[in-house]
Amino acid sequence: MYPYNNYLYFYTNLYFSPIFICKYSIEESLNYGEKVLTNSFLIVEVKKIREKIINGQNLSTAFDNSIFPSKLGSFIKVGEKTGDINRIFSSLSDYYLKESDNRIDRFMAMIEPGFTLIMGAALFSLILLFVFPLLTSMGAIG
């Protein structure tokens, strides 16, 4: 799973969290969620989830059979049993944001030495191209 996916999940959960506070039906909440999302792939997936719910599936079951990770469906199932889905979506948003930040930090820590080597090689090349010929021509004069 790439950090980009975690950001998609984070924003999806972030959009759904306040919608579920308003006590709309799940179908209405997902309909409003579709309007807020900007990623066309996620919009299609949310439409599929909404159709599954209209056909009688639970929210957790609909999320289980989608692109979203199974962990999301498990958390939603807990929210359905406790009656506090909003808190679950809020917790999931926090989780995915932290997970994305951790993955990006690890990725940056891995590529930072490579950038240092590239900058060192570029600096060494500049020295060889400009300073070394200048010094050799000055040595030939003197």
pLDDT tens for each residue of 57-101: 888 888 887 777 777 788 888 888 888 877 877 787 778 778 888
CA distances from 128 to 131, 138, 139, 140, 141 (A): 6, 15, 16, 17, 19
Query: Is 51 within a domain?
Result: yes
140 domain-assigned: no
Average pLDDT, the chain: 79
- pLDDT the model gives residue 121: 97
Contact 29, 12 (CB under 8 A): no
Residue 95's CATH number: 1.20.81.30
The pLDDT score that the predictor gives to residue 140 is: 75
Say if 59 falls within a structural domain. yes
Domain count, the chain: 1
- Between residues 55 and 63, the one the model is more confident about: 55
Distance (Å, whole) CA 41 – CA 77: 24
Answer yes or no: is 127 within a domain: no
Cα dihedral sign for 54, 58, 59, 65?
Answer: negative
